[in-house]
Structure 1
C-alpha cells in the first residue's frame, strides 16, 4: 500500500499503521515495490491496517512510438523483458485470444496495437463486480464475458504478450471523478491497469478507456495480480474471518 516514486509520480510521504500495534520493517521487493512487513502474535479479534500517503501524480501518459515489430522480436529485447512476455496462472493462454491478438496486430504499429487491444477488451467485456474473484484467470474472465478491473488488465496482457509486446500489470488507486474539488474527500477505488513497452514504458487504463494520468496513483508493477497484491500473509485462528477494504482520496491541489 506504499505508492511508488518514479517518473510517473512522487510519493511525498507515506506510512502504514496497524491496530493492534506491531513492529514493522520495510524493504523493496524484486519488482521494485515498497513492502511493509509485520507480524502479530497477541490474541485479537480484529486487525486494522491503514496506509496513508500524500502523492504528486503526473499528466496523462502518451503512447511511446519508438520501436518496430522487428526490434520487439529481437533476442536482446526478448531476453531483457522475458518476464513481461511470459504467460502465468492469471495471464493464461487461450486459442481464441491468440487468434484475436493476431488480428488486432495486423497492419498496425506496436503502440496502436496496444490501444486496439485495450479498446477490444473494453468493448467485449461487461464490468460487473462479483462475477469473478481474485484467483480468476484471464481465460476464465474471457469465457464469462464479465469481470472487474483486474480481469480487464489480465485480458489485455494476454493479447499484448501474444503479440510479443512486453507488458506489465499495475496495481493502484483511482480517483473516480476528474471534477473532484480541491479539499474534497471521496470514496476512491482499488484499481488495476497495464503498462506496455514500445520503446519506453507507458500506461493505459483498459477498464475506463483512458490514459493513466493525474487520477491514477501507482502502487506496484509485476507480471500479474499475484506479484502486487495489496495485502497478503498468513493467518491462523478461528473460522470467523472477513476482509473489508475502504479507500478514501482527497484532492489537495
Structure 2
C-alpha cells in the first residue's frame, strides 16, 4: 500500500463512573496523527501513513478506573418521554434503522411491557426477555446482520442483543443507544495479573437523570447486574458500524 488514511476509536470515554488515568496510541509505521471528538462525543485518533507499507500496527494502551454506578431514583415517566423536550433533544436515539427495526413479535412484547411497567421497569423486562430468548453463539452473525435476522435465528452475539434491545426500547419511545467497549473477563484477578480483555457491546437507555445499562451477554449465563463495574466504554452511537468494537484488548489489574 502506498499511503493510508485512518481513523481509530480506541480512546476510553470520560464518564461519571469511568476515569481515564492515561491513554496513548502507538502506530507502526510511524505517522502523523491528530485527535478530534466526533458528533457522538467519542475521541477519534486520525493518522496517515505516507510511505509504502504492507502492514499497519495500531496499539492502544489505556489505564482506566471504573466504579459501579450508584442506583438512581427513577424520575422519568411515560408522560415525560412523550413530551416535546425528550422528542427533540433525544430524537436521534428514538428513530429506528435497518439494523434495529424489531419484528412484530418483539414489538408486541415491548408494547405489553410498556403498558404494565414504568419506562425503566419495561426496559429491564425487555432485556431479561431477550436474554431468555436469544442464545449467545459466536460466529452466528456479522456486524451487518439486522436485528430481525438475529431474532428469527434466536442466536447472535453482544451486538445483536444490543440492536434487538435498542429496537424494542425505541419502539415504545424509550431513548436508547449502542455502546462499544471492553469487558474485563476476570473481575477477581490478582493485583498485577494481566488478562486478555474482550471487546463488547451493550445498550444504554435514558432514565431522565442519566443512563442505565443492560447486563452483559457472553458465552456464560447473563449477569443481571445492571451497572456492571468491569465494563470500559469506548464509544457511543445509534447502532453498530458507527462505533464497532475492536477484537481484543490486554488488561492489567491494578
Give the TM-score normalised by structure 1. 0.89
Equivalent residues in 2 for 1:189-228 (5 A)? Answer: 189-200=198-209, 201-207=211-217, 208=222, 209-228=224-243
Match of 2:156 among 147, 152, 160: 147
CA contact (8 A) 2:199 2:245 kept: no
**Partner of 2:146 in structure 1?**
137
- 1:72-83 → structure 2 map (5 Å cutoff): 72-83=81-92
Alignment counterpart, residue 4 of structure 1, candidates 4, 9, 13: 13
Q: Which residue of 1 aligns with 2:196?
A: 187
Unpaired runs of 5+ residues, structure 2, are: 1-9
| Mapped contact 1:156–1:206 kept (Cα < 8 A) | no
> In structure 1, how many angstroms separate the alpha carbons of the residues matched to 2:191 and 2:163?
33
Higher-RCO chain (CA-CA 8 Å, sequence separation at least 6):
1
Question: Contact (CA 8 Å) 1:175, 1:215: kept in 2 or not?
Answer: yes
Aligned partners of 1:127 and 1:148 also within 8 Å: yes
Residue 174 of structure 2 is aligned to residue 165 of structure 1: yes
Counting matched residue pairs gives 239
Separation (CA, whole Å) in 1 of partners of 2:233 and 2:137? 23
Residues 41 and 61 of structure 1, relative CA distance in 2, 3 Å threshold: farther
After superposition, the C-alpha distances for 1:67-101 in whole angstroms (9 at most, x for unaligned) are 11111111221111100001113212422221121
Report if the CA contact (8 A) 1:65-1:110 is conserved.
Answer: no
Give TM-score scaled by structure 2 length: 0.89
- CA change 1:172–1:64 in 2 (3 A) is farther
RMSD across aligned positions (CA): 1.5
Deviations 1:214-235 (A, max 9, x none): 201010111111221256xxxx
Say if 1:19 and 1:49, in contact at 8 Å, map to a contact too: yes
- Contact conserved, 2:94 with 2:176, CA < 8 A, in 1? yes
Partner of 1:246: 248
Q: 1:166 to 1:64 in 2, by over 3 A?
A: farther
Deviation at 1:178, TM superposition (A): 2.1
Gaps of 5+ in 1: 232-244
Measured in 2, the distance between the counterparts of 1:229 and 1:114 equals 23
Q: 2:32 aligns with which of 14, 23, 30?
A: 23
Q: Deviations over 1:80-133 (max 9, x none)?
A: 110000111321242222112112222111111111011011110110111100
2:55 corresponding residue in structure 1: 46
Q: Deviations over 1:46-84 (max 9, x none)?
A: 211111001111214535511111111112211111000
Equivalence for 2:7: none
Instruction: Flag the 1:35–1:9 CA change in 2: closer, same or farther, 3 A.
Output: same
Shift of 1:140: 1.2
Which residue does the alignment assign to 1:238?
A: none
